[in-house]
Amino acid sequence: MISRSTIDRVFETARVEEVIGEFVQLKKAGSNFKGLSPFTDEKSPSFMVSPVKQIWKDFSTGKGGNAVSFLMEHEHYSYPEAIKYLAKKYNIEIEETVQSSEEKEQMNERESMFLVSNFAKEYFQDVLLKSNQGKAIGLSYFKERDFEDEIIKKFELGYCLDSWDSFTNEALKKGYDIKYLASTGLTIVRENKQFDRFKGRVLFPIHSMSGRVLGFGGRTLSTDKKTAKYVNSPESEIYHKSKILYGIYQAKKEIAKQDNCYLVEGYTDVISFYQSGIENVVASSGTALTSDQIRLVNRLTKNITVLFDGDAAGIRASIRGIDLILEQGMNVKVVAFPDGEDPDSFAKKHSETALKEYLENSSQDFINFKVSLLMREASNDPVKKAGLIRDIVTSISKIPDSIQREVYVQECSRIMEISERVLFSELAQLISKNSKEFSKNLQKEKQTFEVVKKQTEQLKEIDSLFILEKEIIRILLLFGNQEADFVDFVEVENEDGTIHLEKEQYTNQVSKELYLNLQDDEIEFSNEIFKKIYYEMIHQLSQEDKIEIDNFINHSNTNISKVVTSILMDDEKYALSDWERKNIFVTEPQKILSKLVTDAILNLRRILIDKKIKQLIDPSESSSSENNDLEMIKNYIELKKRLYNKLMRVV
């Protein structure tokens, strides 16, 4: 168990914008940062990070919190794993207390799989670098590929001994459960037999964006043609090959820095490029490119450069991924290597400068590339040429931005020597067809929803009490430590017996003003989380005379932390819309602070009075006599009128 002092140091040191910046491309938005949600597929940013408050919120899903909660949400870390990740990132020594057997049992299935995968990575690397067989076979292979020691360690490459169960036996000896060895695919279990999946193979660990080992790619060094050249970890609870890119962990910072990502096919392509100084490179690991993989890159940059091998078959197979990239609203460029070359071999034959120059000079817009590729096939055949034009217009139709589509149509018209009118006509038909299909599907969903809605929908009364209690907590969090000039209206009786209100001005701390008023009315919060937050605030005020917001942001009770960060970030939501640029100016809350406080108190009293009147009107809620009830109702209505007068409203 991690000591409290270590946890405190982690929270003091970690910067939420730095942590999240490794997973999401953040852009400055006033005093905050904004970006695309890493939890949903969206085109407009709804994700906000506040460096001042050290919190984040994703307005598309409602999720929010601090640096630790982001890692727990995004990387599915447990709380201790998130603390350890941050401690490692900021070079904080971890002090641990002894874990009880009960705490050990609380480790869930996913965490057990991650632990087994991490052990396997360390074991395979150890075998590669220290065992005789590992050095003679595995390390020799990597040296033949000209991989340097530093790169081998950077990518945590390894080797599995060429025996049936060396790894499995070692893992079992260390106390790892065969259940998790099997579920991660590291061990294949057949009836009473169990053996290593990666026997005699060099290993390429596949990391998540945060560096956790999800699975492995294993290459055989055998010359037996019956043996599969590459074997990957099977799909599991932690490894989905369609949702991860090889090298994303090592490349993420450079992708964001260069604002471009090079996309290659294989593990060795990534490593050779990285060793040559091109660090913003990832691989689809031999699988067809997927939307999920593209979205990983989209968090870091809007620009992808696809690198193709020299052989035509490989290009034809890979070019289909371009349409997927365009659909995500990203900018695509293409580089093709000379015949017989791939990124790995080309990088080895050229210096860093020459490689960078080639990538820059050979980079083509996807239309130019597609035209030059397909025109060779079409030759002078009019039918094939027409098919090529439709192919390119289909790609253009995938682009969500209308201005970008028009620019590409003009470019296509110039290259293909065909009128823009014809191309726009074809494009309009494709877009119309897609829109009709989309509308048709949407209508079906709508009809289904309406049926369900009619069956289950019940109008819910707005929970005014919840809203007002939340508003009081919000005021305390944002302005509790500030002072404001308040106005009170004291009831004074006139000579004729009527009552009028006289204004009285005074200065008070916001938190104390709220506390005194709530105390006078003996008001209890109905929401349990709000109640806990409120009483902790009052306790802080009695001890230190101020509210420490960080204590709530980094609270050990995750429900309190989520509620507090959500309230704090809701205050920043308007920044996403950039209202000032649209000449919409928001009144600064500090200028109307006393009114915010007074209205919150008076409205809460009004809601509570309404509830009391309803209870008195409802016979099942009342235990007193009818005459007493009528008198009390009359008194409450009179009190309600006075409150409305103070709120300047009409009953």
Question: Could you tell me the domains of the chain?
Answer: 4-104 (3.90.580.10), 107-239 (3.90.980.10), 248-431 (3.40.1360.10), 464-646 (no CATH)
| The three-state (H, E, C) secondary structure of 294-332, written as one string | HHHHHCCCCEEEEEECCCHHHHHHHCCHHHHHHHCCCEE
Question: What element of type H or E holds 468?
Answer: helix 464-479
Nearest to 431 by CA among 301, 318, 327, 308: 327
- What's the pLDDT score for residue 608? 74
Instruction: Give me the DSSP letters along 195-257.
Output: EETTTTEEEEEEE-TTS-EEEEEEEE----TTS-SEEEPPP-SS--GGG--BTHHHHHHHHHH
d(CA 467, CA 463): 7
d(CA 424, CA 419): 9
Question: For 601-632, how does the pLDDT look when each residue is reduced to its tens digit (9 = 90+)?
Answer: 878 777 777 776 676 666 555 555 555 566 66
- What's the pLDDT score for residue 604? 79
Q: How many Å is the maximal CA-CA distance in the chain?
A: 111
d(CA 54, CA 32): 10
Q: CA dist 322 to 135, 178, 307, 317, 392, Å?
A: 41, 42, 11, 11, 11
Please list the ranges in the chain whose pLDDT falls under 50: 438, 441-442, 445-446, 448-449, 451-461, 649-651
**Alpha helices for 21-106 (secondary structure H):** 67-74, 79-89, 101-105
Model confidence, pTM = 0.70
| The three-state (H, E, C) secondary structure of 430-460, written as one string | HHHHHHHHHHHHHHHHHHHHHHHHHHHCCCC
d(CA 281, CA 274): 7
Q: Which amino acid is located at 179 in the chain?
A: K
Instruction: Give me the DSSP letters along 218-235.
Output: EEE----TTS-SEEEPPP
Determine how many CB atoms are found less than 10 A away from the CB of residue 169.
14
Helix, strand or coil, per DSSP, at residue 623: coil
**CB distance 2 to 96 below 8 Å:** yes
Question: What element of type H or E holds 263?
Answer: strand 261-264
Strands 213-220 and 230-232: antiparallel
- What's the pLDDT score for residue 650? 40
User: Phi-psi bin for 211: left (phi > 0), alpha (psi -120 to 50), beta?
Assistant: left
Burial 237-249 (b: 16+ CB within 10 A, else e): ebbebeebbbbbb
Question: For 4-32, how does the pLDDT look when each residue is reduced to its tens digit (9 = 90+)?
Answer: 888 888 888 899 999 999 899 899 888 88
